[in-house]
């Protein structure tokens, strides 16, 4: 891509926008166990996005680092890393190509609690992901999008104690094709066909999932947007077959003082324990500027995970797979200067599963964030 875009090198723009963070918290049940152990924690974070842009090419490199330490020896100290990269290239007047890659090495307290509610002490997850997408404008109103993605998740344990939840490394490959018709300036409809292959470490045969959805995107007003799709999926693993419902509904509204969004979805994909699962999610988010330097953000999310196949004693009949996880969070941010902010944030986490049982916990965190002015360099 850089060679193809060499003629635009003189108009290139480099941009650096680092963010430094420090937080201290108290958590009543960091691992969401029925009888949790309270602890204090602190972390130093570094977020360093770098962008290179020309008229036809944009490259983004985004490293993130977390250094976490805890007061109780039960909770192992953790050093986490996420490195993502994105390239967008306008190949012709009608087509664009994007390539997205990610590598991460994180402990499950960082990755799974926020996403799936599954926490396994002393366990790390290493992810390698890649997404290639091509979009072609066939006419002024009709466009075609093709996408292929790959993910390889590897779980490893730092603890000599056996885990109560079996974690299986896996490979996940998916493909999709979407045709979109722009009916008007505010309304568009689309049809998406998808297919995927899921290969779990302990199983020799892969599981295949095929899906189709029909949806629309509607700009209700200048500040409100709605997108919705519905369809079905069919998953097959050797002689096992499972049919399911797919849907995704998202509403968002922006005002002069903040934003509001709500979404509900159901899909089939790997989640947390290295298993293929049915996932149902409901999320509500709110952000509001209270004063010139004071803002409020709040969110509620609920997730339900269940096995795709229901054959007792076979593959997906893992007791820890069926679980419900919910989180509520609220934060007040005060911007002391143009580059420095202080945030007071509270969390409430709740989980119910067949292996762990019902557990909940709360946490209070004080965050400080320093965001220096971005540095732009053109040549």
- Give residue 316's pLDDT: 45
Question: 162-166, 201-205, 225-229, 253-257: which has the minimum mean pLDDT?
Answer: 162-166
Mean pLDDT of the chain: 87
Task: For tokens 């797919």, name the residue.
Answer: 246
% of the chain residues with pLDDT over 70: 87
Residues with Cβ within 8 Å of 58's Cβ and at least 6 positions away in sequence, in order, are 51, 52, 86, 87, 88, 89
Q: Is 102 left (phi over 0), alpha (psi -120 to 50) or beta?
A: beta
pLDDT band of residue 203 (cuts 50, 70, 90) is: confident
Cα gap 296→290, rounded to integer Å: 7
pLDDT band of residue 317 (cuts 50, 70, 90) is: very low
**pTM for this structure?**
0.85
Cα gap 125→112, rounded to integer Å: 9
CB 226 within 8 A of CB 247: no
- Give residue 239's pLDDT: 85
* 2-31 pLDDT per residue, tens: 444 444 444 578 899 999 999 999 999 888
- Give residue 295's pLDDT: 96
DSSP characters over 322-341: SEEEEEEEEEEEEESSSSEE
- Give residue 310's pLDDT: 66
Cα gap 1→315, rounded to integer Å: 43
- Residue 165, token pair as written in the block: 């939840």
Q: Is 274 left (phi over 0), alpha (psi -120 to 50) or beta?
A: left
Q: Which fold has domain 6-378?
A: Porin (2.40.160)
Cα gap 216→229, rounded to integer Å: 6
* 127-138 pLDDT per residue, tens: 999 999 999 999
Question: 12-16, 84-88, 194-198: which has the minimum mean pLDDT?
Answer: 12-16
């Amino acid at each position: 891509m850089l060679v193809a875009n060499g003629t635009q090198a003189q108009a290139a723009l480099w941009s650096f926008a680092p963010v430094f963070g420090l937080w201290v918290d108290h958590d009543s049940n960091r691992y969401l166990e029925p009888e949790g152990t309270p602890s204090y924690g602190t972390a130093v974070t570094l977020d360093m996005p770098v962008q290179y842009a020309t008229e036809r090419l944009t490259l983004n490199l985004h490293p993130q680092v977390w250094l976490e330490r805890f007061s109780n020896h039960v909770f192992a100290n953790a050093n986490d890393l996420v490195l993502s990269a994105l390239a967008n290239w306008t190949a012709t007047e009608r087509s664009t190509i994007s390539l997205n890659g990610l590598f991460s090495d994180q402990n499950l307290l960082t990755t799974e609690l926020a996403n799936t509610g599954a926490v396994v002490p002393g366990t790390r997850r290493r992810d390698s992901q890649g997404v290639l997408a091509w979009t072609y404008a066939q006419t002024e109103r009709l466009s075609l999008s093709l996408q292929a993605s790959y993910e390889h998740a590897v779980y490893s344990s730092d603890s000599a104690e056996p885990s109560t939840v079996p974690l299986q490394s896996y490979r996940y490959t998916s493909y999709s094709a979407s045709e979109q018709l722009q009916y008007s300036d505010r309304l568009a409809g689309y049809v998406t066909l998808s297919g995927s292959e899921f290969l779990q470490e302990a199983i020799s045969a892969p599981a295949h999932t095929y899906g189709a959805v029909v949806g629309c995107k509607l700009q209700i007003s200048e500040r409100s947007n709605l997108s919705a799709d519905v369809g079905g999926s069919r998953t097959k693993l050797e002689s096992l077959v499972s049919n399911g419902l797919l849907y995704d509904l998202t509403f968002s509204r922006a005002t002069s003082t903040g934003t509001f969004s709500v979404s509900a979805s159901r899909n089939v994909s790997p989640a947390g324990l290295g298993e293929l699962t049915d996932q149902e999610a409901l999320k509500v988010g709110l952000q509001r500027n209270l004063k010139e330097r004071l803002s409020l953000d709040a969110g509620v999310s609920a997730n339900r995970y269940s096995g795709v196949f229901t054959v007792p004693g076979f593959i997906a009949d893992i007791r820890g797979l069926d679980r419900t996880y919910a989180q509520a969070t609220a934060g007040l941010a005060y911007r002391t200067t143009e580059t420095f902010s202080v945030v007071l944030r509270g969390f409430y986490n709740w989980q119910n599963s067949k292996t762990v049982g019902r557990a909940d916990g709360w946490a209070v965190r004080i965050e400080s964030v320093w965001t220096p002015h971005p540095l732009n360099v053109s040549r």
